[in-house]
Structure 1
Amino acid sequence: MTIDRVHAAREIAAENGVDLLVLTPGSDLRYLAGYDAHAMERLTALAVPRTGEPFLVVPRLEAPMVDASPAGTLGLELLAWDETDDAFALLASAATARLGSAPARVAVGARTWAEHALGVQRALPGSALGLASPVVDRLRMVKSPAEIEELALAGAAIDRVHANMDVWLTVGRTEAQVGADIAAAIIAEGHTGVDFTIVGSGPNGASPHHELSDRVVQAGDLVVVDIGGETATGYRSDCTRTYVVGGGPSAEVAEWYAVLQAAQAASTAAVRPGVTAEQIDAAARDVIEDAGWGKHFIHRTGHGIGLDTHEAPYIVAGNDIPLVPGMAFSVEPGIYLAGDCGARIEDIVVCTEDGVRTLNDGPRELVELPG
């Protein structure tokens, strides 16, 4: 961890006319300063003024934790505040001193707690408050080789979970029972936390973000299994496969699933530098629409991934950002038949200098489990 990311953020902020960045606990703070702070009512914030040196505002009782983290090696000034202090006033005063006057434009992280964003605004009443996303996303969207390898390790770990799905996903078990076993396996295969376990059986598979339920898996069910977790370094996995349990698919299901598989392959193959995010979305969507299933593809084709499961760039119509080497994101078209069933195929991919690298393996066809 070096101070370079903080300085790069300062330069991009200046380009965007932002006088002060304020980043509270979350992935932005972890990315820039290496401090994985716990979010709570007490203010912890990295402040990056347009001129002068960046600094950290932290509760005094947590100052030793900063020193013990990678942030402790960056040489950042640490402003520790006591329980009876006004932490927001301390931040405002230190930033104003560095800038020579109160900042005209302040940007806070997109996932900053409202009480913290409003506290900054109260302490700097003459400042316009906006989001830091245009600044931080420019850095986070393009992964370093080390970050890509962390994502690859996470992807390989979640692949190992999918490879053992026949152990847990059987006829007669509830989604909740299957999900509990999957969650344990996510940890056993090298993650430190479980982000989500979606097990959508039968008609529940038509709900892309279905919550685990007590529905019993039945013979012939299509089951959408979308799972992911966090590794020790904070990087995430996210992979979806669709299974048919205790029997083969009907002719109609096999037909439209082949369309879905072709769409996912076409979208992945389209990834290369210079192609826009919305063109990757269109590559999948066009295949599905041309086959007559367009109204059943009800979400974007993908999302960026890194320290957050969902982050920029978003692979969706209207996003004309061109891909560059190092961008990592999901390719996950789906077809959902309300009240009946659904299917999704999802891989994490990385744009490379000459094309695409896929970070998930395993079969993308409809996987038949004995039940």
Structure 2
Amino acid sequence: MPAESSEARPVAPVDKNIIASISRIDQKRLSRYRLDRLRAELRRRDFAASILSDPINIRYATGTRNQAIWSMHAPGRYAFVATDGPTILFEFESSKHVTANSPIVDEVRPCTPWLYFLSGPRTEEKAHHWAGEIDSLLRQFGGKNRRLAVDRCDPLGAAHLQYLGVQLFDVQEAAEQARMIKSTEELACMRVAMNVCDLAAGRMRAALEPGVSENQIWGLLHDTNIAHDGEWIECRLFASGPRTNPWFQESSNRKIQAGDMVGFDTDMVGPFGYLADISRSWLCPGAKATDRQRRLYDLATEQVLHNVSLLQPGLGFREFAEKSWPVPDEFIANRYVMMAHGCGFVDEYPSVPYTVDWNDWGFDGTFAQNMVVSVESFIGEVGGPDGVKLEQQVIIGPNGAEVMSQTPLCDAFTL
């Protein structure tokens, strides 16, 4: 194998204005608002407490992050949030110093992990010990209320808790309802995340040329995000040419060709763990867009702009679906999975389907001020050579939707 070059690799510059914006966030006020929102939802459902193992919910309730991706598949750290009482964070002994200075966590204790990876044949023993710890806390801070809300509890742990007389409920409804309405600090965090996303999109657009691979362009989003204290990318949704239709192809080593349609969906978890979720489609330079590509782009743009214009406080989900842009019959089969969804730490409640899908999984509700929503479009006929993916993230204000991204929806290179 040839020796790797010793020449230093270029480092993407950091935007000082974004870094300054990050430093201005009042993290204590941010965390207090979220914890209060969660407790209000727990109280509304008469839950004595919650045990949170999903790192997204832990982040929301405690303001802490620690090995989030790892703990998504290997749950070991968790938080006990009393509805009326303390917030106790359980961390691995070797890393509890990482979150010891949270302004809203009352106590950090060593966790009792009982996943097989760490406990092997002692899993039963560890689950029994873990359940005893939780039961003791519930008795101390919940009194006679034995209603405990959980987001992730494997069968063995659930069985031990139920044996001790604990009533288990799903916390996710309470968590999603709490996360739905953003505070001033949360909106500031989401604007920062979008600024990082726009910066990355500009770098991706500038680097797009014939012969580069999808992964090379896609890597610029990751690079820019991490350099500005972002966290991860939820999916690998970057595709070019024939891989853009149908949608949901993951980024690959395919070399992009002149005149290829290139589409992506950022799903970017940025600074403070907040989501920047936009989609754009570009034409790779070196060839002019075809009439068909222009038509697809015009239709996708029309769909997004029309549906964004509908959003306002008090609008029902069903009403939104009924008033939404009518997708031409030839594109219905390959339509995007939903028309709109909430945004916060990640994709959140609600998800609004097309009317054709309403009977299968639709549900009603109401858009409210200070919700953040992404509006989706994919236009590509079955068997077509490519397709156009667009998505716009907006804040629902008192008079309608405020577009968050500065990355143009309509790309001049495509027209």
TM-score normalised by length of structure 1: 0.85
Match of 2:292 in 1: 252
In the other structure, the counterpart of 2:389 is 344
Tell me by how many angstroms 1:10 deviates: 3.1
Question: Quick one: distance in 2 between partners of 1:82 and 1:184?
Answer: 35
- State the SS of the aligned residue for 1:55: strand
Gaps spanning 5+ residues in structure 2: where?
1-27, 114-124
Residues 248, 189 of structure 1: CA spacing in aligned structure 2 closer, same or farther, 3 A cutoff? farther
Which AA in structure 2 matches 1:108? V
Cα distance in 2 for residues equivalent to 1:52 and 1:231 = 31
Identity, in percent, stands at 20
Preserved CA contact (<8 Å) 2:87 2:105: no
1:92 corresponds to: 135
Q: Tell me, yes or no, if structure 1 residue 315 matches structure 2 residue 352.
A: yes
Deviation at residue 136 of structure 1 after TM alignment: 1.4
CA distances 1:60-91 after superposition (whole Å, capped 9, x unpaired): 444433322x2xx3362444467997233111
Counterpart residue number, 1:296 = 334
Task: State whether residues 88 and 105 of structure 2, in contact with CA within 8 Å, keep that contact through their aligned partners in structure 1.
Answer: no
Q: TM-score, normalised by structure 2?
A: 0.76
Aligned position for 1:360:
405
- CA drift at 1:165: 3.4
Cα distance in 2 for residues equivalent to 1:27 and 1:279: 30
Matches within 5 A, 1:194-233: 194-233=233-272
Find the counterpart in structure 2 of residue 306 from structure 1: 344
Q: Distance in 2 between matches of 1:151 and 1:3?
A: 17
The residue that corresponds to 1:143 in the other structure is 182
Q: 1:175 to 1:79 in 2, by over 3 A?
A: closer
RMSD: 2.9
Deviations 1:141-180 (A, max 9, x none): 1111111111112112212222233432222222223323
Deviates more, 1:130-139 or 1:48-57: 48-57
8 Å CA contact retained: 1:257, 1:366: no
Say if 1:25 and 1:37, in contact at 8 Å, map to a contact too: no
Distance 1:293 1:23, change over 3 A: same
- TM-aligned CA distance change 1:292 to 1:80, over 3 Å: closer
- Code of the residue aligned with 1:74 in structure 2: it is I
2:216 — aligned with what?
177
Choose 198-207 or 33-42, whichever is displaced more.
33-42
1:24 corresponds in structure 2 to 53
Q: Distance in 2 between matches of 1:81 and 1:226?
A: 36
Change (3 A) 1:16 1:53: same
Report whether the alignment pairs 1:264 with 2:304. Answer: yes
Question: How many residues were matched structurally?
Answer: 359
Structure-2 separation of matches of 1:19 and 1:53: 12
Tell me, what secondary structure is at the counterpart of 2:137? helix
Once residues 158 and 106 of structure 2 are traced to their aligned partners in structure 1, the CA distance between those partners, rounded to angstroms, is 20
Q: Match for 1:21: what amino acid?
A: S
Q: Which runs of 5+ in 1 are unaligned?
A: none
Structure number having the greater helix percentage: 2
- 2:89–2:108 Cα contact (<8 Å) kept: yes
CA pair 282-210 structure 1, distance change in 2 beyond 3 A? farther
Corresponding residue for 2:315? 275
Q: Is the 8 A contact 1:240 1:345 kept in 2?
A: yes
Q: Is residue 48–residue 138 contact of structure 2 (8 Å, CA) maintained in 1?
A: no
SS at match of 1:360: coil
Residue matched to 1:47: 80
One-letter code aligned to 2:304: Q
Assess if the C-alpha contact under 8 Å between 1:108 and 1:131 holds in 2: yes
Whether the 8 Å CA contact 1:92–1:120 is kept in 2: the answer is no
